[in-house]
Amino acid sequence: MRNPSFPGLLALLLTLSACSNSPTAPAQFNPQAQHSGGGADIGDGKIVRLQAVHSGKCLDVSGISQNNDANVVQWDCVDNNPNFNQDFKLKRVSAGGVYYQIIAQHSQKCLDVVGFSQQNGGRVAQWDCHANPDDPNLRNQLFALWSLGNDTFHLVAKHSDKCLDIAGISQHSGAQLTQWSCVQGANQKFRLMPTSHGSGPGPSPEKEYCDDFHTILVGPYKYVNNTWGSNKTNGQPYRQCLQERTLNGVKQYGWNWNWPGFEPTVYAYPEIIFGWKPWDGGASTDARFPMQVGGMPNVILNYEVEGTRSGHFDFAPEIWLTRSPGAGAARPWDIATEIMVWLDYNDGAYPAGSRVASTTIDGVPYDLYKARISTGEASWDYLTYYGPKGRNRATLNFKNFIQDAVWRGYASSSHHLTGIEFGDESSGGTGNIWVKQFSVAVQ
């Protein structure tokens, strides 16, 4: 749950079991209007080829040049390229959001909009990388990656707010890379492709499951395309899907989304459920849950995810504490406490409620936020442990978070932990997430 922009919006919260009919068209958005706080965070140091979607050709430093001002063009993609002039390292820069310097591996020079041009048609070449790329006079080497799904991106120059663009929508090798006003043309879309000299983002989905609340059971873990707040789009198109792929012979699952605008009380939460969810009917995926808080064992989550998030989001596992034991029929009115642990989020995002404490759990510092949430059928205390950003891999022991809440008087040892949920809350924007590892140990 995110912090609404004014308190009255809390009253608009809908129950997490709500369903609505999904429009079939994908959401449309204006990257010029939305990228200004940076773009997707795909990690630091990935080495990729950048393939123009319209032509299938790769960005290439012309003539394998080592010199400043050498043109960047498109050319037939070369597998195992011995010259490295189609290989680019993405160096992450925090500059009021996530941006990247794009470094040619043969020359170690950066993509650069020549002359700091603000104009359509401004030429892109390689140049010595700026040591301080967020200097207001040097931002022509910073690019936001605006995710379009399926590992494709707009590359948006920070200094000019324009998209990198293959001139003239050319299909020919040697066509110049320029900047142009962002119009979502295919010649402004680039696919991040793996290279033998580094690591790309991995293969695209083999299958997608885009129906609201589509469920995939993988052992005791239930993947759910949870679109609980989709009716808040007021008829605007959106798209959210579970996805699967095979990587090195191993099946992986994840989710992707594209939600319009900004909805502070959250559109959706694609997720994994372990145990039982008090908003849903049915059996628990593990017979030990719900379990009483007093005397509970360690409940340890190990996870690793990869991918991109942009716009307004928080990546956070969630647990519910109910007053009475047992799974079975849904009973949201029995909820006493909801606890989320924020692991990643966009700049400027804060949880609902007020900060009531600071604490350290398992060596990690957190600010603790507290709110009271009410819907037509339930009312409960909402706690958020607001920790450092960018934690796409970690181990969390939920017993320690619950004990901290009990010690502060925000939860009771007589209550019952129903299970663990794990996912991404979106309030507008795009994302593409793969779950590389996920397990819960009770010990």
Mean pLDDT of the chain: 88
pLDDT, average across residues 257-274: 93
Query: 371: buried, middle or exposed (CB in 10 Å: 19+, 13-18, 0-12)?
Result: buried
146 close to 156: Cβ distance less than 8 angstroms: yes
Digit-coded pLDDT (tens) for 17-52:
333 333 333 333 344 444 446 788 888 888 899 999
pLDDT surpassing 90 at residue 1: no
Whether this prediction's pTM lies above 0.75 is answered by no
Establish how many alpha carbons lie within 13 A of residue 60's alpha carbon, considering only the half-sphere containing its beta carbon. Answer: 22
The C-alpha atoms of residue 52 and residue 194 are separated, in whole angstroms, by 14
Which DSSP state fits 317? E
The size of the chain, in residues, is 443
Q: What is the pLDDT of residue 255?
A: 96
The dihedral built from the CA positions of residue 55, 208, 266 and 405, taken in this order, carries a sign that is: negative
Closest alpha carbon to 223 in 270, 182, 157: 270
Please give the DSSP secondary-structure letter assigned to residue 205.
P
pLDDT score recorded for residue 34? 44
Residue 16 has pLDDT above 60, yes or no: no
* pLDDT tens-digit map of 209-245: 999 999 999 999 999 999 999 999 988 889 999 999 8
pLDDT at position 194: 80
* Whole-angstrom distance, CA of residue 173 vs CA of residue 286: 57
Q: Are 73 and 111 in contact (CB under 8 A)?
A: no
Which pLDDT tens digit goes with each residue over 73-95? 999 998 777 778 999 999 988 88
Same fold yes or no, 7-22+210-442 and 43-194:
no
Cβ neighbours of 177 (radius 10 Å): 25
| Average confidence (pLDDT) over 307-331 | 93
Task: For residue 332, give the 3-state DSSP assignment.
Answer: helix
**Mean pLDDT, to the nearest integer, of 51-56?**
95
Let me know if domain 7-22+210-442 sits in CATH 2.120.10.70.
no
Q: Domain locations in the chain? A: 7-22+210-442, 43-194
What pLDDT shows up at residue 81?
74
State the Rg of the chain over Cα: 23
- The model's confidence at residue 2, banded by pLDDT at 50, 70 and 90, is low
What pLDDT does residue 29 have?
37
What pLDDT is recorded for position 391? 94
pLDDT digit string (tens) for 104-151? Answer: 988 889 999 999 999 999 999 999 998 888 888 889 999 999 988 777
Cα separations in angstroms, 309 against 52, 407, 434: 21, 34, 11
pLDDT at 204: 62
Kindly state the average pLDDT of the residues 352-363.
Answer: 97
Q: What is the rounded average pLDDT of the residues 275-290?
A: 95
% of the chain exceeding 70 in pLDDT = 90
Kindly tell me the burial class for residue 136, based on how many C-beta atoms sit within 10 Å of its own C-beta (0-12, 13-18, 19 or more).
exposed
Is residue 380 helix, strand or coil? strand
Task: Supply 233's token pair.
Answer: 């789009």
Residue range 43-194, CATH number:
2.80.10.50
Q: What pLDDT, on the 0 to 100 scale, is given for residue 40?
A: 86
Q: Which two tokens stand for residue 360?
A: 């350290």
Assigned token pair, 345: 């989020």
Q: In 10 A of CB 138, how many CB atoms?
A: 17
Tell me the C-alpha distance between 364 and 398, whole Å.
Answer: 13
DSSP collapsed to 3 states, 16-56 = CCCCCCCCCCCCCCCHHHHHHHCCCCCCCCEEEEEEECCCC
* pLDDT tens column, 379-434: 999 999 999 998 999 999 999 999 999 999 999 999 999 999 999 999 998 888 99
**Which one, of 285, 314, 335, 296, lies nearest residue 429 by Cα?**
314
Structure tokens at 42: 């795909």
Is 294 in contact with 415 (CB distance < 8 Å)? no
- The pLDDT assigned to 27 comes to 31
Smallest CA-to-CA distance from 21 within 174, 176, 235 is with 235
11 has pLDDT over 60: no
